[in-house]
Amino acid sequence: MDSNVKKRWISLYVENQVGVLSKISGLFSGKSYNLDSLTVGTTEDPTVSRMTIATVSDDETFEQIKKQLNRLVEVIKVIDFTDIFVRMKEILYVKVRKCTQEDKVELFQIAETFKARVIDYGRDSLLLEFVQTATKNDAVIKLMKEEFKNIEVVRGGSVGIESISMMER
Amino acid sequence: MKQISGNKLLVKALKEEGVDTLFGYPGACTIDISDELYKQNDIRVILPRHEQALVHAADAYARTTGKVGVCLVTSGPGATNLVTGLATANYDSVPLVCFTGQVARHLIGNDAFQEVDIVGITRSITKYGVTVRNREDLGRIIKEAFYIAQTGKPGPVLIDLPKDVMAEPGSAEYPKTVNIRGYKPSTGVHIGQLKRAIKMLNKAERPLFLAGGGVNISGANAVFKEVVEKTNVPVVTTVMGRGAVPTNHPLFVGNLGMHGAYAANMAVGECDLLFSIGTRFNDRITGKLHEFAPHAQIVHIDIDTASISRNIHVDVPIVADAKEAITKMNEYVNVCNTKKWLDEIGGWQQEHPLTMKKHAEMGPMDIIREINRQFEEAIVVTDVGQHQMFAAQYTEITEKKKIIMSGGLGTMGYGFPGAIGAKLGNPDTPVIMISGDGGMQMNIQEFATAVLEELPLILCVFNNTYLGMVRQWQKLFYGKRYGMTDLRSGALSRRTNGEEKPEYTPDFIKLAESYGAKGIRVTKKEEIAAAFEEAKKNTKVPTLIEFIIDPEEMVYPMIQPGGTLEDMIMDC
């Protein structure tokens, strides 16, 4: 409906408790918000978890998502990653099977181009690890699907952190 | 340090929170708590006949006393029967603390007898919910629950209590303070924003106050009335906001929305400033969003940031408690020049006053007018449906008369247990329930509770033998095909193609009498006054007054769902 529909990122500090993930994901499904990806892990404080959430939404829905998240008792802090400098990466594994010798050569070239690592090697298979932005991972997956028939993909969802500010440099 | 069981600590906590009434229904997982409650006399334990009625009673108790409603039910079905009541309270911002029994920790997840994941089931309909997994957390969790339930935008909190946690000995200390890092309800008012809003109010030629339930919940009525009188700005209310100013006040225009008064809806349509307080612009009040208050700038005061600019675009948002904001406003407002605007509204009121065309000699309006006339002081509790809208349109609300209902969720079956809860909390105030014959039967078993607690409720049942509100839609929009709304339909009507129908079931009078309550059937207008006089004499038992209503009585005006002012049906 709106032309300002785009992918947006939120970082969330939440209580590290049973059911919190369910509460957050339930909010998205219950209110029909798009949930593109969600990652979660504990922080330096074991009682706090941090989530990185990607959602595709328009401005108004995105405002509402932030407000709704803020309302939850278990949510400690909501950070909008839209207009701040952040470091954000996603891990992606691609396993390619039934490779010919030429396939392997090509895969090593792909790995070099995308700064991926070849982390395992079989007679006719290779396992690649990419750590880059989700957008670049999208591109890699598209490419690999076109080039190779027998692939297996697993991706981790993005994690992000604010860059060190100019003041601290 | 002295150690006590979790069960004992729970009862101690309730006392420290000042709980005087608990609504409970027992079971295997809460039997130890029942036992602790049995050993004390400070907390009165009420035993409704169904957990759904139980939570509605606690809800109405909370709405009419300003205290937290407290529920205790067992695990499994006891807990799941709370679901509708929790959603009802959540939607209307009612503070509840509900304790549910749970199987012992080692059985959780085993599909044990009467085990359900009630925290999971109710996650989206409670303000907060948690299972107590360690005995040492119990005191803190209860303290937090009472705090969360009644601060900010109030709401229901659920605490799930595994049986073994409650049996375990532990600290006897109940915390005095709360600190929840993720929950800091906003306090204070942004003065800059408020002044901006007041400036707009002064500049407007057609300013209008829109008061929602938040004004009533925060208890801002008195100061709001002052602000209204100082500024001379007219007021419309939502159904939940009714009574924000007394309904007989000259500046009160009426309710807006689907069944709002013509003048109130016209005023919203024509105003150039809509100054709204404590409402979430629900679809039943806005109709088609793009055509809602098309000429107006909008100010919105609400305690819940998420309510602001969600459904409609707001020009000046102010996050604050209604009472705090209105009290601050009261320092700054001046009289506005609204004479011409008020005349215009007066014209609409004359053009289409709120009234009912008579289909029968006795109509709902006659009954409600009699209630208005006979009772100086009252709490009116409604169920959901046509009678609720009649009550919302015609019941007079003053400083001494209030009305409560399930406004947001629209829960049938709320009325009767609601009346019980209201009376338990307000023993000296007459409590009048208005229900339909459909809604009354959804929690009819509560006659037992009302009779045993000796509650002199006046239970008005508007019996039109149909589920009237749905029937109204069928009459207007579905070619009079009354599917599923005829409460006399069944095998006989199916067999005879609708030619024959049995007598109405139940006989409400006999039913009331079978419980030891009184029953009066009213079929004529001139019997109404006497019926209420008679009911008032029954000071120890409830009195059911069954009013036989013509099924053709309709709630007007009506704006079609998703419609606009032009679609307003005045009559047909």
* Band (B135; pLDDT cuts 50, 70, 90): very high
pLDDT tens readout for residues A104-117: 999 999 999 999 99
In this structure, what are the phi and psi dihedrals at residue B21, rounded to the nearest 5 degrees? Answer: -140, 135
- Chain B residues whose CB is inside 8 A of the A73 CB are 127-128, 148, 180, 182-183
The rounded mean pLDDT for chain A is: 94
pLDDT tens readout for residues B69-88: 999 999 999 999 999 999 99
In this structure, what are the phi and psi dihedrals at residue B209, rounded to the nearest 5 degrees? Answer: -85, 135
- Chain A residues whose CB is inside 8 A of the B306 CB are 64, 67-68, 70-71
Q: Is B306 on the interface with A (CB under 8 A)?
A: yes
Burial class (CB in 10 A: 0-12, 13-18, 19+), B555: buried
- Chain A residues whose CB is inside 8 A of the B148 CB are 73
Q: What is the CATH number of domain B3-171?
A: 3.40.50.970
- Helices A101-113, A134-147: axis angle to 10 degrees equals 160
Is residue B185 reached through a cis peptide bond, with omega within 30 degrees of 0 on the bond before it? no
pLDDT tens readout for residues B158-192: 999 999 999 999 999 999 999 999 999 988 999 99
Do strands B44-46 and B21-24 pair parallel, antiparallel, or not at all (unpaired)? parallel
pTM (2 d.p.)? 0.96
Do strands B96-102 and B156-162 pair parallel, antiparallel, or not at all (unpaired)? parallel
Provide mean pLDDT across the span A65-89.
95
Distance separating alpha carbons of residues A28 and A26, to the nearest angstrom: 5
Choose the weakest-confidence range: B114-123, B313-322, B522-531, B561-570.
Answer: B561-570
Distance separating alpha carbons of residues B198 and B202, to the nearest angstrom: 6
Edge-to-edge order in the sheet of strand B69-73: B44-46, B21-24, B69-73, B96-102, B156-162, B128-131
| pLDDT given at position B289 | 85
* Residue pair B192/B320 in contact by the 8 Å Cβ criterion: no
On the question of a common fold for B191-351 and B364-548, the answer reads: yes
| pLDDT given at position A110 | 94
CA distance B119 to chain A (A): 9
pLDDT at B572 > cutoff 70: no
| pLDDT given at position B1 | 76
Choose the weakest-confidence range: A123-137, B100-114, B554-568.
Answer: B554-568
Domain coordinates of chain A in residue numbers? 6-84, 87-161
pLDDT tens readout for residues B20-34: 999 999 999 999 999
pLDDT tens readout for residues B515-538: 999 999 999 999 999 999 999 999
Across the strands, what pairs with B461?
B435, B546
Measure Cα distances from A2 to A65, B281, B300 in Å: 16, 22, 24
| pLDDT given at position A2 | 56
Scanning A6-25 for CB atoms below 8 A from B yields 14-15, 17-19, 22-23
pLDDT tens readout for residues B277-292: 999 998 888 888 888 9
pLDDT tens readout for residues B488-506: 999 999 999 999 999 999 9
Domain coordinates of chain B in residue numbers? 3-171, 191-351, 364-548
pLDDT at A4 > cutoff 80: yes
Q: Which amino acid is at B141?
A: I
Q: Is B304 on the interface with A (CB under 8 A)?
A: yes
Q: Do B120 and A22 touch (CB under 8 A)?
A: yes
Known catalytic residue: B40? Answer: no
| pLDDT given at position B535 | 98
Which of A51, A130, A58, A135 shows the shortest CA–CA distance to A96? Answer: A130
Q: Is A74 on the interface with B (CB under 8 A)?
A: yes
pLDDT tens readout for residues A115-168: 999 999 999 999 999 999 999 999 999 999 999 999 999 999 999 999 998 777
Residue of A nearest to B184 (CA): A73
- CA torsion sign for B278, B282, B285, B290 is positive
pLDDT at B571 > cutoff 80: no
* Residue pair B439/B462 in contact by the 8 Å Cβ criterion: no
Query: How many residues would you count in chain A?
Result: 169
Residue A89, SS3? strand
DSSP string, B210-260: EE-HHHHHTT-HHHHHHHHHHHT--EEE-TTTTTSS-TT-TTEEEE-STT-
Which of B46, B126, B35 shows the shortest CA–CA distance to B88? Answer: B126
Radius of gyration in angstroms for the set of CA atoms belonging to chain B, rounded to a whole number: 25
- Chain A residues whose CB is inside 8 A of the B128 CB are 73
Do strands B69-73 and B96-102 pair parallel, antiparallel, or not at all (unpaired)? parallel
A46-80 in b/e burial notation, b at 16+ Cβ within 10 A?
eebbbbbbbbebeeebbbbbbbbbebbbbbbebbe
ipTM value for the complex: 0.92
Two tokens, residue B393: 């349109």
Domain B191-351 has CATH 3.40.50.1220: yes
* Residue tagged active-site, from B469, B554, B558, B568: B469
Q: What is the CATH number of domain A6-84?
A: 3.30.70.260
Residue of B nearest to A61 (CA): B310
Query: How many residues would you count in chain B?
Result: 572
On the question of a common fold for A6-84 and A87-161, the answer reads: yes
Residue of A nearest to B128 (CA): A73
- Helices A20-30, A59-71: axis angle to 10 degrees equals 150
* Residue A61 neighbours by CB under 8 Å, 6+ apart: A33
| pLDDT given at position B250 | 97
What is the homologous superfamily of the domain B364-548 according to CATH?
A: Thiamin diphosphate (ThDP)-binding fold, Pyr/PP domains (3.40.50.970)
| pLDDT given at position A82 | 87
Q: Is B148 on the interface with A (CB under 8 A)?
A: yes
pLDDT at B153 > cutoff 70: yes
* Residue A44 neighbours by CB under 8 Å, 6+ apart: none
pLDDT tens readout for residues B414-426: 999 999 999 999 9
- CA torsion sign for B129, B132, B137, B140 is positive
Domain A87-161 has CATH 3.40.50.150: no
* Residue pair A114/A136 in contact by the 8 Å Cβ criterion: yes
Known catalytic residue: B51? Answer: yes
* Residue pair B29/B114 in contact by the 8 Å Cβ criterion: yes
Provide mean pLDDT across the span B116-120.
98
